[in-house]
Structure 1
């Protein structure tokens, strides 16, 4: 490790969601979304060591809630328009700046501490400046993704990887196209990887990201990680198990209802 400060898991948590106002404070099976995300972040920080957790928000109510849970919070400017930029602002506000920054959205209660920790380890030990998790689809999951995209074409992101596990591309389309699919289906796994929306960065990479404009394909796809790929940065894609809970993020009342149903069916993943 360098002489810089501890690595930092930042949980960006905006109050003013247009589709679900006050989202981080909304209850899911008796606990707030933010409480659930904090619990996973804490476990990840403990497992990798030399790592802190902080909430970055635009609202005093969220900051106060974080502090009652026992996690520090920083108020960042309300005009910040992305989680990555909010994570950067929180990192730069530290007295001793971190070497690595993990951007863990405050509406993602089902991303496990194992996945968060895997990103930290990948950047500490690897040659990339950005890391993000992916999971391989079996054929049932691929069929469900295809069906879902018929009505929600911009929900679900796939990733094409090189032999070393670095990202070649991300897309809202399902990539790659599968020629000869009948033969491919003899194997249990489809050659398609889906992306989980969680990122770890070196601080230098995050500095660069916020200082540069969105790229052409980033705007077309609506995927901020393409800003890095369009400009030659390496993104390590870390294979993780397919999520047991289908929703990684909560954006609407409907998502909350589905999450409640999943917990009733599968059990509550909140760490005890």
Structure 2
């Protein structure tokens, strides 16, 4: 297999325990779990050879298998989705050329986001990559509102001129002084592409102070000198948002209904 998509999912989320099994109602009134909607999104991607749900939780595994997903059981020692992906690669026997980590809390990820990432990974010099999306007014307002109310919402990215990442943060970066005339803010999309060798190296590095402070796994690459290539993607009218807090359920259901997603 050249490209596989992994969907890491854990039950014991600090901010939202049991999050993968939370049900979201779509445009037709049908409720589907968060992990089911992430799996549906992954299966719309062109260019992937297989999709697996990764978990250490029997409840998530049983539920995923009930709707037809292939499941790889990973250890409870995995501290984040990247570590879970590294464990899963070892279970495949022959490693793929590219591993895509589609976060289990991002069911609104359009297939063209992931397809653009797969295209970026065609460059053999790229060891790790992730999409970024320029914030529209609604998304930026959600970012600022969450921080003003003490909630940690999405993640922002700041980049060099060549598109490699300078930093990722759960704060809104750069500083937004006014929503009437805001600076350009880039929303980090919770999808990663890796080379198996980059995943192996990741497992050898300790958790760094920035990764620990922000709770952002990709910072371990930056802290250890591995460039992270940011792939700019376009929303094409689709609102992108992850499920980070209970308040996001209504936000995501609103988008599902607006977009006619069952």
* Counterpart check, 1:240 vs 2:233: yes
Question: What runs of 5+ residues in structure 1 fail to find an aligned partner?
Answer: none
CA RMSD of aligned residues (A): 2.7
Post-superposition CA distance 1:27-57 (Å, at most 9, x none): 211222222111111121xx115x2111111
SS of the aligned residue for 1:191 comes to coil
1:11 alignment counterpart = 7
Q: Which structure 2 residues correspond to residues 205-244 of structure 1 after superposition, within 5 A? A: 205-242=198-235, 244=238
| Cα deviation, residue 9, structure 1 | 0.7
In structure 2, distance between residues paired with 1:141 and 1:86: 29
Which of the residues 144, 150, 155 maps onto 1:146?
Answer: 144
Which of the residues 88, 97, 101 maps onto 2:99?
Answer: 101
Structure 1 stretch displaced more, 25-34 or 14-23: 14-23
* Counterpart check, 1:111 vs 2:104: no
> Is residue 8–residue 91 contact of structure 1 (8 Å, CA) maintained in 2?
no
> Is residue 243–residue 249 contact of structure 2 (8 Å, CA) maintained in 1?
no
1:28 alignment counterpart = 24
Q: Which structure 2 residues correspond to residues 172-191 of structure 1 after superposition, within 5 A? A: 172-177=170-175, 185=181, 190-191=183-184
Structure whose alpha-carbon radius of gyration is higher: 1
Paired residue total? 256
> Is residue 158–residue 195 contact of structure 1 (8 Å, CA) maintained in 2?
yes
| Cα deviation, residue 202, structure 1 | 0.9
| Cα deviation, residue 161, structure 1 | 1.5
1:163 alignment counterpart = 161
Post-superposition CA distance 1:173-225 (Å, at most 9, x none): 3333579x89x94xxx8422121222111111111112211122222333222
| Cα deviation, residue 144, structure 1 | 4.7
Query: Could you tell me the TM-score, scaled by structure 2's length?
Result: 0.85
Query: Could you tell me the TM-score, scaled by structure 1's length?
Result: 0.82
In structure 1, distance between residues paired with 2:18 and 2:137: 37
Greater helix content: 1
Question: What runs of 5+ residues in structure 2 fail to find an aligned partner?
Answer: 26-30
* Counterpart check, 1:249 vs 2:247: no
In structure 2, distance between residues paired with 1:195 and 1:56: 22
In structure 1, distance between residues paired with 2:127 and 2:47: 18
In structure 1, distance between residues paired with 2:211 and 2:61: 31
| Cα deviation, residue 145, structure 1 | 2.9
In structure 1, distance between residues paired with 2:145 and 2:58: 41
Structure 1 stretch displaced more, 226-235 or 66-75: 66-75
In structure 1, distance between residues paired with 2:184 and 2:13: 35
Given the superposition, is the C-alpha separation of residues 153 and 21 from structure 1 closer, same or farther in structure 2, using an over 3 Å criterion?
closer
2:47 alignment counterpart = 48
> Is residue 211–residue 217 contact of structure 2 (8 Å, CA) maintained in 1?
yes
